[in-house]
Structure 1
Amino acid sequence: MTIRAASSTRKATNITVDAALLAQAKALKINVSQASEAGLRQAVAEAEAGQWLRANSAALDSSNAYVERHGLPLARFRNF
């Protein structure tokens, strides 16, 4: 899943990072802003996925319990 900002507007911010890691990133000519944004984008996606799982856990549990009791609803049509 790719999360993109609604617009290309950027907001300056201050972050605190390990000094050695920052020096290594600069030595490797890594764009720290882009790398930070990519990491933040991934963290947001993971947090949203976890939030979705928590919000839908009852439905997932119910569906799994149904399949355990009755099998897959259309299993008789499977060709494998």
Structure 2
Amino acid sequence: MKPSLTSLKPSAKKATNITLSMDVYQAAKSLGINISQVCEQRLREEIQLRKEQQWNEENADFLAAYNRKVEEEGLALEEWRAF
């Protein structure tokens, strides 16, 4: 099963320092952007992407073997598919 963001449930917060370019910081503040919230959401997206990449890499051999089998033998229960 591929990992998903649902496995990243919100938990206690940890104060963290980040360094931003002054122009980015000022623009975000002037637009009322919650920097912590945006950083957390973007990190969650990046974590999800990297977990999916890791899963694909770890399962590449199995996926290739399965795809070869489907190409050679067709899908299991193909004759009963309604679509």
**What is the one-letter code of the residue matched to 1:41?**
R
1:53 counterpart = 2:56: yes
Residue 57 of structure 1 deviates from its aligned partner by 0.7
Work out the CA distance in 2 between the residues paired with 1:52 and 1:18.
34
Of the structure 1 ranges 14-23 and 30-39, higher mean CA displacement relative to structure 2 is found in 14-23
Unpaired runs of 5+ residues, structure 2, are none
Specify the alignment match of 1:67 in structure 2: 70
Instruction: Spell out, residue by residue over 1:4-44, the C-alpha distance to the aligned partner (whole angstroms, 9 max, x if none).
Output: 23x3x111111122322221111110100000100111111
Residue 51 of structure 1 deviates from its aligned partner by 0.6
Give the aligned length.
Answer: 78
Instruction: Please list, as runs of the form range in 1=range in 2, the aligned pairs for 1:9-48 lying within 5 A after superposition.
Output: 9-48=12-51
RMSD of equivalent CA atoms: 1.3
Identify the structure with bigger relative contact order (alpha carbons < 8 Å, sequence gap 6+).
Answer: 2
Unpaired runs of 5+ residues, structure 1, are none
